Amino acid sequence: MPTLFELSKPENQARFHRELAEQFPDALYGSRRDFSAKLAGEFDAALATGSEEAMQNIIETHPYLLQYAFRTTGHHGTWAYAKRWIRTNQVNGQRGLIPDFIAAMSNSLGYSWQIIELKRPDVQFANKRGDGLSTEAHKALAQCGEYMSHFANYIENVRVNVGNERIKQPDGVTIVMGDSRLENEAQRKVRVGFQDLSPKISIATYDRLRRGLLNDVMPSALETPTYEGAQTADFLGGRPA
C-alpha cells in the first residue's frame, strides 16, 4: 500500500484523479485541485454578465463548482452530465426534458445524485416586491417537478438516454439563481421560507458558489494574485461585480 508521502507526489495525485474521472467516463469531472485564483476572476466576470449561458459554460468547464451549491458533500470530486436528454421529444407532441446538469458527488456512503437547474444570476428567486416568487422561479420549479417525476417513473429510460446505467433516483433538485447580495430583506425571507418548507428542493444563489470558491482559493489569491483586481477591496469584501 502506498504511503501518504507517495500519494502526495504530483504524479500520483494526477493518476489518482484520472482514475476518479474514469468512474463515469462520459461525464465531466472536476476536483478542488483544478482551482486557482484565476478562476475566481473568471467566475466574477461570468457573474457580471447576468447571463445563464455564461454560468452554464463556466460550470461545464469547472464542474466542481457545483459542490458549493450543496449543504453537505464528500468533497471527493464531482461528475456532471450537462444538457443530457432524460426524455426525448415524443411523437405525441410531448416535449423532451433536458436538465442543465445531472451531477454525482462521492462521499463515504457512495454516490449522491442531484439534478441542477440554472437560472439567470441577475434574477432573484422572489419577485421584486418580496411577496411571492419571480416568474423565473415558477418556471424553474415547474421544470424540476417534471424532472423528478420522470426520474421516479422512468429511471431505466433515463439511464439509457444519459448513457449511464448506474444513475440512481436523485436525492433532490438544486436551483441555482440570483445573488443574495442584491436581494432586499423581503426577497430573502421568501427564499429562506420556501427552503424551510421544501426539503427536496434547494435554492442556491450564485454568490454561495462564489464564497465556496474563494474559501478554497483565497490563500493562493492572497499570495500570488494572477489577475487584475484580485486583492481589491471590492473583491475581498464580496461586493457584486
pLDDT tens digits, 154-193: 999 999 999 999 999 999 999 999 999 999 999 999 999 9
Q: What is the percent of the chain where pLDDT is above 90?
A: 63
Degrees, nearest 5: CA angle 231-218-15: 135
Question: Taking the model in full, what pTM does it have?
Answer: 0.84
Give me the CATH topology for the region 24-237: Restriction Endonuclease (3.40.91)
State the pLDDT at residue 213: 92
Query: Cα separation of 109 and 223, whole Å?
Result: 36
For 106-172, the DSSP string reads EETTEEEEEEEEE--TTS-SB-TTSSSB-HHHHHHHHHHHHHHHHHHH-HHHHHHHHT-TT----SE
Q: Which cell goes with 51?
A: 447571463
State the pLDDT at residue 224: 40
Q: Which cell goes with 185?
A: 430583506
Best CA proximity match to 20, nearest among 66, 74, 79: 79
State the pLDDT at residue 31: 85
Domains in the chain: boundaries: 24-237
pLDDT tens digits, 98-156: 999 999 987 777 788 999 999 999 999 999 999 999 999 999 999 999 999 999 999 99
Task: Look over the chain and give the mean of its residue pLDDT values, rounded to a whole number.
Answer: 84
